[in-house]
């Protein structure tokens, strides 16, 4: 291999700021790398230059990042630049580097080098055992919630004794009691949990000065990627290793710090010069990803934050379409419009593939309507970073109840439903019941009803099974004519499923949103398709849900539209991006307005979403959205307000334009502080494209496309959420309750 040539060739392709960061040798360096500014190129070129130009041995270099994918890419690029693998250099994630260090230092933390790393399920099992020993009730304190609290403490470097002193409420005191015993229990099993891979290396370095000195001599140059995402333990690890020689180069973007909710501290990057006073600061502002109209919007949006170093992204390409801001009627209309627009672009742009399109949203619960809209059009999709809506644990829990109500012989549904939430029935009891049912050749639900089959079980277990069976039978009777959303609401309340999820801590809150989305979706399904003869509302709902859940699993490399939360989009890029649900209370989340730092993190998350787009960006918001079973009005996100009108192409869906004589334009320009509310009369609406809905009154004669003629018996709700109860002339159909917006009704007296 010829020396210095690879590094010299790399430098030729660098811009001035990138070259400054690569050529910096000794001393601290902070690289503020804007989105799409080529930070990976800078990191790898810098490593290659240290080795080729300055003669630094690879074994003296430590490079740390956050994902295995990023670490693998970094290693491959460095090997390409050098013409060979950098033998002896440590490149990896914080957790993999921590594990590697702990293998070497295992005796210092009471382990052997063969220690086991526990995953989440293993960790929960340990916590449950400790809770059992300490007589801490899992009904009062969910093991998952206690684990989350202990995880937060470890990542903040809060040790058990300190945590115990700080514990002020019953949940914190329960977590402190478990945390106090956890380390000894793990040590006895020669195991560590995932958080220990950060905590224990810091302990080794703090408590063993000789070992710290050796590691500082070993790693003379430390490089850290995504520094804005470091938590307390990661920050301490970096500063301990590099604090003496100061040869630390950190690369990150304070404008993309979006993980404060899991312990990341933006002050680590904002205060870098306080830790390293002689640091050189380099800003990478040339963007190689997005076209100018997208970057113009990104720069305006992020300028609203106060807690930032300040930089402006500059495009390296010219041209491009304006960003499109779209108003929709509700989340269903939003989803239909997005699917239709994707279909249109795929048809007209031959160079655009489905894999080039991404749909982003703030919460996982928003995926349901979007998934259904894509499926109706036969557009394949894949969800990144999350399971499909109907495969999520909390949805599967509740669906198991509905399946059992619809089909009492479904033993698989019984096994899941009877176990969640726990009702005092252990695995031994349920195994015994399964054996009894098998021998009697009846379903498990039927066996639960029959006292003569339960003699092997203790009285409390027999009563719990009888109560469960009676509950299912009661809902089976209700399901003959009740709507599915009503059934679900009653069921969730009766089994106290919301309390069950809340006990899990922060993760439970998002699961609860998914549960509400299931209820909202159930309210739409039957009304949407006008009902289907021979099926109860519950049958119809389960059939529809099964078809969606049974879509073939998408290959990660398949030509499919990508769907994900904005958090999961970080680090990715797509030619065409839709950001949906841009409404106050949803994005930003309503609670963010109570805490300035959280509001700024929400704005950074929006900025991350914007900068994923390469050539076209859509910003979509709905005029109303179903929340807690009600269709509630929405206003566009406050994040849209500062964007100048000339930067946007403003559009609205056909259904929004057809909502009445006075339509409030849901566009950012209509809501700027100090600007008057702008209304459009019916004369400005394209009525030819969307006829206004007829009015309905009690006693009116109407015709349904499937059920025929009938008379309106009851009328309720307003706007698109208006519902009618109709007595149809055909006695086999009888009385039906329908949503006017979906039913396709016509007045017979018009």
Q: What are phi and psi of 585, to 5 degrees?
A: 95, -25
Task: Note the pLDDT tens digit of each residue in 298-348.
Answer: 999 999 999 998 899 999 999 999 999 999 999 999 999 999 999 999 999
Q: What is the pLDDT of residue 188?
A: 81
Q: How many CA atoms lie within 13 A of 662 on its CB side?
A: 3
Q: What is the pLDDT of residue 283?
A: 95
- Residue identified by tokens 């406050």 is 638
Q: Please check the confidence at residue 357 and state whether its pLDDT lies above 90.
A: yes
**Cα–Cα dist 457/469, whole Å:** 16
Which range is least confidently modeled, 70-84, 163-177, 292-306, 546-560? 546-560
Q: What is the arithmetic mean of pLDDT over 617-643?
A: 89
8 Å CB contact between 663 and 679: yes
Q: What is the arithmetic mean of pLDDT over 103-122?
A: 82
Average pLDDT over the chain reads 85
Higher pLDDT, 724 or 195: 195
Q: What is the pLDDT of residue 480?
A: 84
Name the most confidently modeled range: 117-126, 149-158, 735-744: 149-158
Q: What is the arithmetic mean of pLDDT over 456-468?
A: 92
Which range is least confidently modeled, 412-426, 480-494, 676-690? 676-690
Which range is least confidently modeled, 111-115, 472-476, 647-651? 111-115
Q: What is the pLDDT of residue 668?
A: 40
Q: What is the pLDDT of residue 90?
A: 92
pLDDT-based confidence at 548, cuts 50/70/90?
Answer: low
Residue 39, both tokens = 């930070």
**Cα–Cα dist 242/226, whole Å:** 17
Q: What is the arithmetic mean of pLDDT over 373-386?
A: 87
pLDDT-based confidence at 721, cuts 50/70/90?
Answer: low
Q: What is the arithmetic mean of pLDDT over 625-640?
A: 85
Q: How far is CA 666 from the centre of its chain?
A: 26
Q: What is the pLDDT of residue 154?
A: 94
Q: What is the pLDDT of residue 240?
A: 95
**Cα–Cα dist 298/202, whole Å:** 38
8 Å CB contact between 457 and 425: no
pLDDT-based confidence at 672, cuts 50/70/90?
Answer: very low
Q: Please check the confidence at residue 456 and state whether its pLDDT lies above 70.
A: yes
Give the 3-state secondary structure of residue 536. coil
With both helix axes pointing from N to C terminus, report the angle between 196-207 and 94-105 in degrees, rounded to the nearest 10.
50
Q: How many CA atoms lie within 13 A of 669 on its CB side?
A: 13
Return the beta strands (E) in 570-634 as ranges. Answer: 574-579, 613-622, 624-627, 630-633
CB atoms within 10 A of CB 456: 12
Q: What is the pLDDT of residue 695?
A: 57
% of residues, the chain, pLDDT over 90: 49
Q: What is the pLDDT of residue 684?
A: 39
| Cis peptide bond N-terminal to 588, omega within 30 | yes
8 Å CB contact between 89 and 63: yes
| Cis peptide bond N-terminal to 421, omega within 30 | yes
3-state helix, strand, coil in the chain (%, to 5): 50, 15, 35
Q: Please check the confidence at residue 60 and state whether its pLDDT lies above 80.
A: yes
Give the 3-state secondary structure of residue 142. coil
Catalytically active residues, by annotation: 39-40, 225-226, 256, 612
Task: Note the pLDDT tens digit of each residue in 578-622.
Answer: 999 999 999 999 888 888 899 999 999 999 999 999 999 999 999
pLDDT-based confidence at 549, cuts 50/70/90?
Answer: very low
Q: Please check the confidence at residue 463 and state whether its pLDDT lies above 80.
A: yes
8 Å CB contact between 154 and 195: yes
Q: How many CA atoms lie within 13 A of 67 on its CB side?
A: 8
């Amino acid at each position: 291999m010829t020396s210095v040539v690879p590094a010299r060739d790399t430098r030729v392709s660098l811009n001035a700021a990138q070259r400054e960061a690569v050529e910096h040798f000794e001393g601290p360096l902070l690289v503020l790398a804007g989105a799409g500014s080529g930070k990976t190129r800078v990191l790898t070129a810098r490593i290659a230059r240290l080795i080729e130009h300055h003669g630094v041995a690879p074994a003296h270099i430590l490079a740390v990042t956050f994902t295995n994918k990023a670490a693998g890419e970094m290693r491959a690029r460095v090997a390409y630049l050098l013409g060979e693998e950098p033998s002896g250099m440590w490149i990896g994630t914080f957790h993999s580097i921590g594990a590697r260090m702990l293998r070497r230092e295992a005796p210092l933390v009471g382990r052997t080098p063969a220690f086991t790393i526990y995953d989440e399920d293993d960790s929960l099992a340990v916590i449950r055992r400790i809770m059992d020993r300490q007589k801490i009730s899992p009904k009062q304190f969910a093991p998952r919630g206690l684990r989350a609290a202990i995880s937060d403490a470890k990542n903040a470097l809060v040790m058990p004794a300190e945590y115990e002193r700080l514990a002020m409420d019953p949940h914190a005191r329960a977590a402190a009691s478990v945390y106090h015993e956890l380390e000894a229990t793990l040590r006895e099993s020669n195991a560590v949990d995932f958080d220990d891979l950060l905590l224990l290396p810091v302990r080794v370095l703090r408590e063993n000065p000789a070992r710290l000195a050796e590691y500082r001599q070993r790693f003379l140059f430390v490089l850290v990627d995504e520094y804005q995402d470091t938590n307390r333990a990661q920050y301490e690890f970096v500063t301990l290793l590099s604090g003496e020689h100061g040869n630390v180069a950190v690369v990150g973007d304070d404008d993309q710090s979006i993980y404060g909710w899991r312990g990341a501290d933006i002050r680590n990057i904002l205060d870098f010069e306080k830790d390293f006073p002689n640091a050189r600061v380099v800003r990478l502002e040339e963007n190689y990803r997005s076209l100018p109209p997208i970057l113009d919007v990104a720069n305006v949006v992020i300028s609203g934050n106060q807690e930032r170093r300040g930089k402006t992204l500059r495009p390296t390409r010219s041209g491009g379409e304006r960003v499109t801001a779209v108003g929709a009627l509700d989340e269903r209309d939003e989803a239909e419009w997005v699917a239709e627009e994707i279909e249109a672009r795929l048809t007209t742009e031959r160079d655009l593939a489905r894999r080039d399109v991404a749909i982003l949203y703030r919460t996982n619960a928003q995926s349901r309507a979007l998934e259904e809209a894509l499926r109706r059009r036969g557009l394949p999709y894949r969800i990144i970073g999350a399971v499909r809506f109907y495969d999520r644990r909390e949805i599967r829990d509740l669906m198991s109840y509905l399946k059992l109500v619809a089909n009492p012989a479904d033993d698989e549904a019984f096994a899941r439903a009877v176990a969640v939430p726990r009702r005092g029935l252990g695995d031994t009891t349920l195994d015994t019941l399964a054996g009894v049912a098998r021998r009697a050749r009846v379903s498990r639900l039927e066996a639960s009803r029959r006292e003569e089959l339960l003699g092997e079980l203790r009285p409390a277990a027999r009563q719990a099974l009888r109560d469960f069976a009676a509950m299912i039978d009661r809902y089976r009777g209700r399901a003959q004519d009740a709507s599915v959303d009503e059934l679900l609401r009653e069921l969730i309340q009766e089994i106290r499923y919301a309390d069950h999820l809340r006990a899990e801590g922060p993760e439970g809150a998002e699961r609860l949103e998914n549960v509400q989305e299931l209820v909202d979706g159930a309210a739409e399904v039957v009304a949407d398709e006008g009902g289907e003869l021979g099926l109860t509302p519950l049958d119809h709902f389960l059939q529809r849900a099964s078809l969606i859940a049974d879509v073939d699993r998408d290959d990660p490399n398949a030509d499919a539209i990508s769907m994900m939360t904005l958090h999961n989009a970080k680090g990715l890029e797509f030619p065409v991006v839709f950001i949906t649900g841009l409404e106050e209370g949803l994005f930003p989340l309503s609670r963010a307005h109570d805490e300035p730092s959280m509001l700024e993190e929400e704005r950074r998350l929006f900025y991350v979403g914007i900068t994923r787009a390469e050539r076209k960006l859509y910003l979509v918001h709905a005029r109303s959205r179903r929340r807690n079973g009600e269709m509630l009005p929405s206003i566009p996100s406050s994040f849209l307000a500062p964007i100048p009108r000339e930067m946007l192409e403003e559009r609205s869906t056909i259904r929004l334009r057809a909502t009445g004589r006075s339509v409030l334009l849901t566009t950012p320009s209509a809501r700027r502080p100090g600007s008057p509310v702008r209304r459009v009369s019916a004369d400005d609406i394209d009525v030819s494209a969307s006829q206004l809905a007829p009015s309905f009154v009690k006693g009116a004669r109407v015709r349904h496309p499937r059920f025929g003629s009938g008379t309106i018996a009851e009328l309720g709700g307003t706007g698109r959420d208006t519902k009618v109860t109709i007595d149809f002339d055909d006695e086999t159909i009888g009385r039906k309750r329908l949503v006017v917006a979906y039913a396709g009704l016509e007045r017979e007296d018009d």
